[in-house]
Amino acid sequence: MLWILAVSAGEVFEDLPQAYVGQILADAVGSGTMRSVLMLRGRATRWLADDFPGWVEVAVTDVDGVVHRFTEKAAVIDADDRLHARAQYPVDIEVACRPHTRHVRRDEAINVVDLSPWGGGEVGSRYAVTRDLLSWRAPGVHSDLSVRARQATALVTFRRWREEVGLDAVDLASLEDHLWEWMTVGPETFRAWYESHPLAAMGEGEQLPRTVRDAVAGRGIGQDSIRDAVHALVAITYGGLFGGIESDWSLGELETVGRFTARHGVPLASADEFVDSLWIDDDWGRPDDALVARWRESR
């Protein structure tokens, strides 16, 4: 299995004996200093070179049957010492990937991913793959989550921030309620929901209502920064309602909310709280009432 490193594998392994590499990976996983991510099944097809830390050819196959081949360090994709010069190739492996889009082709769900967390593959390339080639393991990262789960993450974080700074603003509380309602809105109630809150229609750069501006005035919070945070909070959902949805869009808005709240000591809520709704299973997500209620109760 591949695990993501905080620095490049070359920096980590450059001066270490080969025997220590697998143990370093295992120890880091056990200590929680590495995080697992979405994984794409592939194969190590052959051993290429003994140059430290050992190099293998990796192949992944897309939905059209095209085989993509690239080179990677054996130690980075193998913590169990299965990949070596005398191994019987091919060897089944998993490589880390990041989701971009999801669509249906001939009644089959197709996920488009890249290998950017890992740094492998063809630079800038995206791969369309079937759901059965993807796996996921906790702990989660925010890119794993469906749009509704990302919206829930932002709402829980924003509420925690308001509680931390003591900001009791009716307009913001009602906006949170409005965005929570989206979780279970159906086609028959969509239009009424969509048009029901003025802050959701606020254009980028527009001022917040005076009641909100007055509430934040004495708390050392910049008017522009909270306006941008509110815009991002809304855009996680509203930004993708009328067109093809890209994972990066809602993820970027979520990160904007997180940067704002972090300045006041409130980090983004952990993705682990929302992993019951994953992008690879349904990009928008379909949480039921019970799951939404559990998300809302997260403290």
The string of pLDDT tens digits covering residues 64-82 is: 999 999 888 887 676 567 8
Residues 182, 197 share a domain: yes
Q: How many domains does the chain have?
A: 2
Is residue 4 in a domain? Answer: no
Element (H, E) at 71: strand 67-73
Residues 119, 157 share a domain: no
Residues 186, 47 share a domain: no
Domain hosting residue 230, numbered range? 144-296
Is residue 3 in a domain? Answer: no
The stretches in the chain having pLDDT less than 70 are 1-37, 76, 78-80, 117-123, 137-139
Residues 13, 60 share a domain: yes
Express each pLDDT in 20-31 by its tens digit. 333 333 333 333
Residues 274, 201 share a domain: yes
CA 236, distance to chain mean position in Å, is 13
pLDDT at 9: 31
Residues 79, 191 share a domain: no
Residues 156, 275 share a domain: yes
Do residues 148 and 138 touch, judged by C-beta distance below 8 A?
no
Express each pLDDT in 119-166 by its tens digit. 555 667 899 999 889 887 666 789 889 999 999 999 999 999 999 999
CA 14, distance to chain mean position in Å, is 30
Is residue 227 in a domain? Answer: yes
pLDDT at 107: 82
Residues 237, 169 share a domain: yes
Residues 30, 153 share a domain: no
